[in-house]
Amino acid sequence: MTFLKTDRTTRPNLGDHAAGTGPDRTKRPVYVDFFPPCNNACPAGEDIQAWLDLAQAGNYREAWIKLVEQNPLPAIHGRVCYHPCEDACNRASLDTSVSIHSVERFLGDLAIKEGWKIPEPRHKSGKRALVIGAGPSGLSAAYHLARLGHEVEVFEAGPLAGGMMNFGIPAYRLPRDVLRAEYERIAAMGVKFTFDRKVSDVIAEKEAGKFEAVFIAIGAHIGKKVNIPARDAGKILDAVTFLKEVEMGNAPKLGRRVAIYGGGNTAMDAARTAKRLGVDEAMIIYRRDREHMPAHDFEADEALSEGIKIHWLRTIKNIDTTSMTVEEMRIENGRPVPTGNFETLEADSVVLALGQDTETDFLNGIEGIEFESDGTVIVNGQMMTGHPGIFAGGDMVPSERTVTVAVGHGKKAARNIDAWLRKEAYEKTPNNPLVQIDQLQVWFKTTAEAAEQPHIEPLAAVGGFEEIVSGLSEEEARYEAQRCLSCGNCFECDGCFGACPEDAVIKLGTGKRYKFNYNLCTGCGVCYEQCPCHAIEMRQEPGVENNGD
């Protein structure tokens, strides 16, 4: 949030001992720093408040550099992240959350346009690390390891980088030139990529390449199956394969009507992709109601706006050529229960979107590596498996399966790999205490709604795979960044400086904040009451007994 600065340079200097009653204080003001809820909620560990502060001042390159200290894929995240940071934003209690993802996208797109590069690492370690998988987690790990000075190679089983970002997220949500530009920036750092290289023996690859550590992030590319009696099994596809085939230019023939079975984000993407392929009708069949669906609410809204039909509380019982029998369900204690009521729906093909599994069988023979019952790999707090020097992350370990979580795993693994290579232990710096909305002194009471990103009209959107959401202009992005309340951290608004009746607040210069002259301070607390972001606390005066007030 931007405020006008107060100028008091013409006021008389009363000296250090005039007007103040410092010795009589029971409490004194202290400048403090807290941890903002947006930072706390970010799975990638971005310092959101810091880069928003730089962006609101128009320092976009500096903002991007601060952003990519933690996340190498801002143009991607600004499009596909489900922005839990905005769910946590304190501003939502005043009007609406800061549209953090739209500012992130603006910075990421500007970096691509301007050709901004990552700063070179200050030193080379001489250590070699192998990353298996070029999805979001593998790209993140490779990037952070390279920035730490290590030599990194990436083996990818597919023909290009991106993993499920390329084969699972449709182009109308993530344009491929954006994905390619972010990958190429990492490659330009010296990271070596080898495509169409599927690893079957990790230990042999590690030894042959003289790698001292390995990070595995192969993703979840296998669609889950379900036993549905079907007369024509050829009409049943899985969503992961379907989306991949479309991306590779081999879209399967779906017929006039297609049913998508599932209620997650992949089901929404599959239905919307089918609509863009020209089917007359795309319907989603899901056994729970909307309240209990795993898809994000806005995904369902966008699907419905594009003409997708959603049959809630239905489960498929059998498929017979161009029709299927579905049973109506009801929710009891949060779970779907059969009702015994059936109906028939017409569909030429069925796409199963019931989740994905990981292909981790190739790790079975490695000593120390253990698995959960669903095949995911067990790792410790350092992202290392039970085999020394082999780390894992992303969709193949137990966790929420999103791009942002995967990128966070890659960063965490890289920092622990770096420490392991140096025969040390990585210790994350503890966060400051979390600041909440009720701790803020939001005295300006200004309502400022978030800047809206333009959307293509739904009827036009289904005509192709062009990106459906546009980015913000420079003016809009700067405005949006200025909506940040700077929760818990001083942003030099001069509120304390202008409010102090004793001239006890000393300005230290731009970027250096302030300090208190306790010889003048009376402990009246006006500075504390004026601070909008709770960067000042009233603490008990040293040597004065707490009387409980």
**For residue range 368-423, what is the model confidence (pLDDT) as tens digits?**
999 998 889 999 999 999 999 999 999 999 999 999 999 999 999 999 999 999 99
Q: Are residues 283 and 344 in the same domain?
A: yes
Percent of the chain with pLDDT over 70: 93
Q: Are residues 381 and 314 in the same domain?
A: no
Mean pLDDT of all residues in 479-498:
94
Q: Has residue 474 got a pLDDT over 60?
A: yes
Q: Are residues 213 and 232 in the same domain?
A: no
Q: Are residues 338 and 379 in the same domain?
A: no
Q: Is residue 312 part of a domain?
A: yes
Q: Is residue 101 part of a domain?
A: no
Q: Is residue 405 part of a domain?
A: yes
Q: Are residues 362 and 393 in the same domain?
A: yes
Q: Are residues 290 and 182 in the same domain?
A: no
What does the pLDDT read at residue 544? 65
Distance between CA 547 and CA 544 in Å, rounded?
Answer: 9
User: Which CATH number belongs to the domain containing residue 384 in this structure?
Assistant: 3.50.50.60
Q: Are residues 214 and 197 in the same domain?
A: yes
Q: Are residues 175 and 197 in the same domain?
A: yes
| Size (the chain), residues | 549
CA 260 to chain centre: 27
Q: Is residue 162 part of a domain?
A: yes
pLDDT band at 447 (very low <50, low <70, confident <90, very high): low
What does the pLDDT read at residue 19? 39
User: End of a domain among 394, 421, 448?
Assistant: 421
Q: Is residue 173 part of a domain?
A: yes
- Give the predicted TM-score (pTM) of the model: 0.90
Q: Is residue 266 part of a domain?
A: yes
Q: Is residue 31 part of a domain?
A: no
467 neighbors 173 (Cβ within 8 angstroms): yes
Q: Are residues 309 and 328 in the same domain?
A: yes
Q: Has residue 221 got a pLDDT over 60?
A: yes
Distance between CA 512 and CA 505 in Å, rounded?
Answer: 13
Helices (H) and strands (E) in the chain, counts: 18, 19
User: End of a domain among 421, 437, 462?
Assistant: 421
Q: Are residues 269 and 331 in the same domain?
A: yes
Q: Which residues contact 135 (CB under 8 A, 6 or more apart)?
A: 162, 163, 164, 165, 217, 218, 219, 394, 395, 406
Taking only Cα atoms into account, the Rg of the chain, rounded to an integer number of angstroms, comes to 27
Please state the domain count of the chain: 2
pLDDT band at 117 (very low <50, low <70, confident <90, very high): very high
> Mean pLDDT score of the chain, rounded to an integer?
90
Distance between CA 549 and CA 546 in Å, rounded?
Answer: 8
Q: Is residue 39 part of a domain?
A: no
User: End of a domain among 331, 355, 379?
Assistant: 355
Q: Which residues contact 422 (CB under 8 A, 6 or more apart)?
A: 125
What does the pLDDT read at residue 11? 31
Q: Are residues 285 and 361 in the same domain?
A: no
Distance between CA 352 and CA 251 in Å, rounded?
Answer: 16
Q: Are residues 208 and 254 in the same domain?
A: no
What does the pLDDT read at residue 120? 80
526 neighbors 19 (Cβ within 8 angstroms): no
| Domain extent at residue 288 | 223-355
Q: Which residue has the higher pLDDT, 346 or 545?
A: 346
pLDDT band at 226 (very low <50, low <70, confident <90, very high): confident
